[in-house]
Structure formats: structure tokens, C-alpha cells
Amino acid sequence: MRVSDTLSGGICVLAGAALAWHAAGFPKTAVQAYGPGFFPELLGMLLGICGVLLIVRGVSERQPITDLPAWTRSPAAWARVALIPACVVAYLELAPRIGFLGAATIPTAIMLAILSRRPWLSLLVAAGSAVAIWLMFAKLLLVPLPAGPLEMLLA
């Protein structure tokens, strides 16, 4: 999918304005001429300027707003796209009940099995990646993750 520079520029202008407006509310310091909001405000203004330049380019080249590829006309393709946020919601619902390992493995395995059509390999990759992530965050970085029966066995 190709999105025109006009649309991208408009999004950049809005995001830059929101960033600069939000950063303007940061507290000011008494000892310096600039405070914690200086850099985010500067970035917001630069993002807005880049957005205006993109808008000018898009309008001058008379680009269409979007150029949708053929796959966007397929309901099955949109179902696969919707599968990703559905798996995120499934993880959020499952994690407090069955812990990180189960909640990370189940939606990931389902998503991989549907997208790759190799259920056993999908289950193996999902379980292996969940254990690797759990070891890295829970054991190495000491980040608390939702505990479940599998975590109790591994702890």
C-alpha cells in the first residue's frame, strides 16, 4: 500500500503539534533557560515542519491519497490482519489467569499455525520463544511477569 505524501504529511503535522503542545506543559526550571520540555518541543516543531514539506510535495505531484494493493480486496487477508490484535487481546485476557508462559504460547501458536499452516512447528516456535522471553525478562532482567502453574514449575 502506498500512502500519499499529503496524507503522511498531515499525520506528521498533527503528531508534531500534539507533541509540542504536550511538551509545553512540562514544568519549567528556575535555573536554566530551557527545561525538560525543550527537546520534545523542538522535535514536535521539526516533525511539523517535515509534515508541511511532505504536504507541499504531495500536492505538487498530485499524488492519489492511497494506492491499495490487490490483497486488500480479500476478506481472508483482512481476517489474517485482524488475527494479530485478536491475539494481543487473548494474551491480555489469559495472562492474569494462566501466567505468562501459557498466555504467550497459546495465542502465538494459533497465529503462527493459521499464518504458516504448520501446527506442530508453530507450537514449537511459540513455546520456545515464550520460554526464551520469560528467561530473559523474569530471570535475567528480574522483570515481574504474570505467574501461572508453568512458572511455578520453572521457578
CB atoms within 10 A of CB 106: 19
The DSSP bridge pattern shows strands 66-67 and 2-3 to be antiparallel
Cell of 17: 503539534
Check if the beta carbon of residue 103 is closer than 8 Å to that of residue 91: yes
SS (H, E, C) 82-106: HHHHHHHHHHHHHHHHHHHHHHHHH
pLDDT higher than 80, residue 154: no
Q: How far apart are CA 144 and CA 100, in angstroms?
A: 10
**pLDDT tens readout for residues 59-114:** 998 888 777 788 888 999 999 999 999 999 999 999 999 999 999 999 999 999 99
Task: Report how many helices (DSSP H) and strands (DSSP E) the chain contains, helices first.
Answer: 5, 2
Q: What is the pLDDT of residue 71?
A: 82
Q: What is the pLDDT of residue 155?
A: 66
* φ/ψ (deg, to 5) at 3: -105, 135
> Which DSSP letter does residue 135 get?
I
Q: Select from 67, 40, 65 the least CA-distant residue to 54.
A: 65
The reported pTM is 0.58
The secondary structure element, H or E, covering residue 139 is none
**pLDDT tens readout for residues 11-35:** 999 999 999 999 888 888 777 777 7
Q: What is the pLDDT of residue 1?
A: 55
pLDDT higher than 80, residue 45: yes
Q: What is the pLDDT of residue 53?
A: 96
* φ/ψ (deg, to 5) at 63: -75, 145
